[in-house]
Chains A and B, each alone.
Chain A
Amino acid sequence: MPQQSSQTILDVVTWIQRHLDAGLSYRFACRVGMCGSCAMMVNGIPRWTCRTHVNKVMRDNSLTIEPLRNLPLIKDLACDMSEFFEKWTDSKGYFQGSTTRHDPVSTLSPNSPQRRVADAATECINCAICYASCDVVNWNRDYLGPAALNRAWSLQNDERDSASAERLSVVAGDAGCHQCHSQQGCATYCPNELNPTASIAGLKRMVAKAYVRGELGAGGKGRQGPESDA
């Protein structure tokens, strides 16, 4: 295929679909590193393909492009992301407030230590690169994974959130933060340079403190969705 300057892996895949195989299935949307939908394995390493330049990752004039690891395949390069997002929900990775629109807007200092910690974990684009790079996900299919736990950590540090105790019980469970072996593949390959391992370590400390204080709930056994708590 013709090589061009600043050519990305997504450009390559698109060229193949347009010129060689019209049936090639893959997923993308924004093409500028915002949406997190175009991640694939490139020469065995998970990468966001729209921001990965061919000349930086090509080895011996060849490229191997595969679907993301650790996720069920739908077709060609398109994975089923359902379990990835379900685990996000299972870990209570959604904000739960205790005020209504009639209450005054909360005042948060951007410089408070808690807010800084939360901010450091909030730029996740849900690309699942951390999920694909994690061997623990591969070993234990119930493990919530780096992205979901990173999200849980950012919410645990959100002063406005009111579901802290329930979320901590879930992440302290069998599928939660204590499964992490700190291999740090997630932090190594995160395209936004987030550090889920640091977030998971923070959750482990938080769980340990809650346990010592007797504040830890029943805990999660495997994956738990919102419906199981109803």
Chain B
Amino acid sequence: MKPHRQQPLYFAFLLHRLSGLGLALFLPFHFYVLALALEGNAELDQFLHWSASPLVKFAESGLVFLLAIHLFGGLRLLALENLPWSNSHKNYAAMALAGGFFVACGFLLRAF
């Protein structure tokens, strides 16, 4: 990474962008699974059985992390652009990251 980009709020930008792209790539797959419900119970049940395996649950926690970090990062950006300026945005970005981990770990604990 170029030296001028090596600062915390660039990493916050990058994480927000990459998590958004990750979620966008997941969406077609998500809709495909929803469509299975319309096509027949058997296929959906087969998928749900597959998705209950530990590896898929673990991968799903990664997805929850992406969703949570994108949500919290988005809230930080909304605050940045719509509320009076705060000099604590590095702290807010760190809180968004911590919140993402917290939610993902919570999901993982409930999944097993």
Residue positions of A touching B, CB distance < 8 A: 41, 43-46, 69, 132-133, 135, 181-185, 188-189, 195, 198, 201-202, 204-205, 208
A117 nearest CB across to chain B (Å): 9
Contact across chains for B85 and A183 when beta carbons are under 8 A apart = no
Bound-state Cα–Cα, A200 to B5, Å:
19
**B80 adjacent to A185 (CB under 8 Å):** no
Q: Does B46 contact A (CB under 8 A)?
A: no
- Given the known A-B contacts A181-B13, A183-B13, A201-B80, are A188 and B7 also in contact in the complex, defined by CB atoms under 8 Å? yes
A185 contacts B85, C-beta separation under 8 Å: no
Residue pairs across A and B with Cβ atoms less than 8 A apart, 6 shown, are A44-B3, A45-B3, A182-B80, A183-B5, A183-B13, A188-B9
Q: Which of A182, A198, A205, A208 has the largest count of B CB atoms less than 10 A from its CB?
A: A182
Q: Are A45 and B4 in contact (CB under 8 A)?
A: yes
Contact assessment for B5 and A202 in the assembled complex, using a CB-CB cutoff below 8 Å: no
Closest chain A CB from B11 CB (angstroms) = 10
Residues of A close to B9: CB separation below 8 A: 182-184, 188
Say whether, besides A181-B13, A183-B10, A44 and B81 are in contact (CB < 8 Å).
no
Cβ of B85 and Cβ of A202 under 8 Å apart? yes
Q: Within the complex, what minimum Cβ distance (angstroms) separates B76 from chain A?
A: 9
Q: Nearest chain B CB to A66's CB is how many angstroms away? A: 11
Decide if A44 touches B4 in the complex (CB within 8 Å): yes
Inter-chain contacts of B2 with A (CB < 8 A) = 44
B82 within 8 A of A: yes
- For A133, the chain B residues whose CB sits under 8 A away are 4
- In Å, the complex CA distance between A162 and B9 comes to 36
- Which chain B residue has the least Cβ–Cβ distance from A195? B85
Least distance between A148 CB and chain B CB atoms (Å): 19
- In B21-77, which residues have CB < 8 Å from any A CB? 77
Please determine whether A205 and B81 come into contact, CB atoms closer than 8 angstroms: yes
Query: What B residues does A188 contact at CB under 8 A?
Result: 7, 9
- Contact, CB under 8 Å: B82 / A205: yes
Residues of chain B within 8 A (CB-CB) of A184 are 7, 9-10, 89
Residues from chain A with a CB closer than 8 A to the CB of B3 are: 43-45
Question: Which residues of A lie under 8 Å from residue B85 when comparing CB positions?
Answer: 195, 198, 201-202
